[in-house]
């Protein structure tokens, strides 16, 4: 009987123990992340589970559209794919991912390609990418710098200006920096400064051993031209020379190989170049004598006192003479309407030509003295020197 009772107690205890056993735990699984991705791009899906040390198993319903590995989804081609994550003894979650065609953004760069030192130009960059951030750079900041598309020339040379937009690409342009253009305002010579200028050129030619000058004078219908071309030595002596006069009178003097060839009153003569003959030619036809009449006012103080500067256009200086205020002796002002002086300048303001214009009623009379150059001259001798006696 006691054994029966013992067995009954054991059975009741077993039932009590079974009745008191706790339920199995319930674990959760979640899946989150973006549901669209471009072809070639990647997105990350996040799976979480309350199961300790949960192992996530990932899969795609269509690897041709999207692949997945450890939650990293990569778009392969346009379409949709179901991304699934599974945890043993917990369950699975899915997310439908749509793969779209990749958007190709463009980048363009435009603007001028040259800039002067110290100046700026603006380059313009445009992109179809929304809210694009443009990053600018120069290949040589010592030549050109750039900030937000504003390019500044620093020194002469070339520099490659580049603009970059993330996930789009880059564009570049070669910019040439040229030297700064320095604009020099031509000097406007006062009458006193002009006096120094004209006396200076006379002095240069007077002391020069070789040179070429030409005179042209027009007095109503009468036109006279005269030229002097000379090569002297330090004796002083004449190595070669040409003096010509053409107008109402025709005359010339040539010196070649120690012989003087002269034409006057249609008579052609020649003479050996003795010291006396040489001195006579220099005194009568040398530079100082040649320009004596047309350049007499170059050193006349009264002329410059009555002279007024008018303008400088390019390399031509223009002056007017105050006829009432002129007290000099070179010009006869009575009955004249105007006397104008024009001075033509060359490089570094070297005097090339001086023109004096005298207006009286309808008649214009002018004299031009051209300084055609210093240095050895090639004399154009007549072909008939043998005919001179």
Rounded Cα–Cα distance for residues 175 and 79 (Å)? 46
pLDDT in the model for residue 290: 84
Say if 111 falls within a structural domain.
yes
Res 235 pLDDT > 90: no
**Could you tell me which residue, 301 or 181, shows the higher pLDDT?**
301
Over residues 181-208, mean pLDDT: 89
pLDDT in the model for residue 19: 44
Domain boundary among 83, 100, 117: 100
Over residues 258-276, mean pLDDT: 89
129 and 83 in a common domain:
no
Written as six digits, the tokens of 347 are 């490089």
129 and 76 in a common domain:
no
Over residues 41-53, mean pLDDT: 94
- CATH number of the domain that residue 136 is part of: 2.60.40.1080
Cα distances from 44 to residues 36, 49, 64, in angstroms, run 11, 17, 18
Res 112 pLDDT > 60: yes
Cα distances from 47 to residues 65, 69, 141, in angstroms, run 21, 12, 51
Over residues 90-116, mean pLDDT: 93
Res 40 pLDDT > 90: no
357 and 232 in a common domain:
yes
Say if 345 falls within a structural domain.
yes
| pLDDT class of 23 with cuts at 50, 70, 90 | low
Cα distances from 180 to residues 114, 117, 121, 150, in angstroms, run 12, 5, 14, 18
Considering the chain, what percentage of its residues have pLDDT values greater than 70?
Answer: 93
Over residues 12-29, mean pLDDT: 59
φ, ψ for residue 302, nearest 5 deg: -60, -30
Beta bridge partners of 163: 136, 171
pLDDT in the model for residue 247: 85
Written as six digits, the tokens of 367 are 């004299």
Say if 183 falls within a structural domain.
no
Over residues 168-181, mean pLDDT: 90
SS3 56: coil
Instruction: Find out whether 136 and 146 touch, Cβ atoms under 8 Å.
Output: yes
| pLDDT class of 236 with cuts at 50, 70, 90 | low
pLDDT in the model for residue 288: 87
- Other beta carbons within 10 angstroms of residue 52's beta carbon come to 7
Rounded Cα–Cα distance for residues 37 and 267 (Å)? 110
pTM, to two decimals:
0.56
* Cβ-based neighbours of 292, under 8 Å, separated by 6 or more: none
| Ranges 9-18, 194-203, 271-280: which has the least confidence | 9-18
State the residue for tokens 């005919």: 387
Tell how many helices (H) and how many strands (E) occur in the chain: 5, 29
pLDDT in the model for residue 102: 83
Over residues 240-263, mean pLDDT: 90
217 and 116 in a common domain:
no
Q: pLDDT by residue (tens digit) across 277-335?
A: 888 888 888 888 888 888 889 999 999 999 999 999 999 999 999 999 999 999 998 99
Q: Residue 117: which domain range? A: 107-178
Alpha helix positions (H), the chain: 2-19, 191-207, 275-285, 287-290, 301-305
pLDDT in the model for residue 237: 83
Element (H, E) at 115: strand 114-116
Res 182 pLDDT > 80: no
297 and 330 in a common domain:
yes
Tally of structural domains, the chain? 3
Please state, rounded to an integer, the average pLDDT across all residues of the chain. 89
Res 7 pLDDT > 50: no
pLDDT in the model for residue 1: 42
**Could you tell me which residue, 190 or 264, shows the higher pLDDT?**
190
List the one residue out of 319, 323, 387, 306 whose CA is nearest residue 355. Answer: 319
Res 121 pLDDT > 90: yes
116 and 84 in a common domain:
no
- CATH number of the domain that residue 354 is part of: 2.50.20
pLDDT in the model for residue 109: 95
């Amino acid at each position: 009987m006691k054994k029966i009772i013992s067995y009954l107690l054991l059975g009741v205890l077993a039932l009590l123990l079974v009745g008191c056993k706790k339920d199995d735990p319930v674990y959760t699984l979640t899946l989150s992340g973006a549901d669209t991705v471009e072809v070639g791009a990647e997105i990350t899906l996040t799976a979480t589970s309350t199961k300790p040390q949960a192992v996530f198993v990932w899969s795609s319903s269509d690897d041709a559209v999207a692949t997945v590995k450890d939650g990293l989804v990569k778009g392969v081609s346009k379409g949709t794919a179901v991304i699934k994550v599974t945890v043993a003894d917990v369950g699975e979650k899915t997310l439908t991912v749509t793969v779209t065609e990749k958007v190709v953004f463009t980048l363009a760069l435009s603007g001028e390609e040259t800039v002067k030192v110290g100046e700026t130009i603006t380059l313009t960059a445009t992109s179809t990418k929304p809210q694009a951030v443009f990053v600018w750079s120069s290949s040589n900041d010592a030549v050109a710098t750039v900030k937000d598309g504003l390019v500044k020339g620093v020194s002469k040379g070339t520099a490659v200006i580049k603009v970059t937009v993330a996930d789009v690409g880059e564009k570049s342009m070669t910019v040439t920096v040229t030297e700064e253009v320095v604009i020099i305002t031509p000097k406007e010579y006062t009458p006193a400064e002009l006096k120094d200028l004209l006396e200076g050129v006379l002095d240069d030619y007077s002391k020069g051993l070789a040179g070429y000058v030409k005179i042209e004078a027009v007095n109503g219908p009468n036109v006279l031209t005269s030229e002097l071309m000379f090569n002297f030595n330090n004796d002083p002596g004449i190595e070669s020379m040409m003096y010509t006069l053409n107008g109402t009178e025709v005359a010339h003097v040539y010196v070649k190989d120690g012989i003087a060839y002269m034409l006057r009153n249609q008579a052609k003569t020649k003479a050996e170049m003795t010291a006396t003959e040489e001195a006579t030619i220099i005194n009568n036809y040398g530079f100082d004598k040649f320009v004596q009449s047309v350049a007499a006012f170059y050193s006349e103080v009264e002329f410059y006192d009555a002279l007024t500067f008018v303008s400088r256009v390019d390399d031509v200086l223009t002056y007017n003479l105050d006829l009432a205020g002129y007290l000099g002796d070179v010009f006869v002002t009575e009955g004249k309407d105007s006397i104008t002086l024009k001075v033509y300048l060359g490089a570094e303001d070297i005097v090339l030509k001086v023109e004096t214009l005298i207006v009286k009623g309808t008649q214009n009379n002018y004299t031009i003295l051209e300084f055609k150059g210093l240095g050895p001259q090639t004399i154009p001798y007549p072909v008939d020197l043998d005919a001179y006696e």
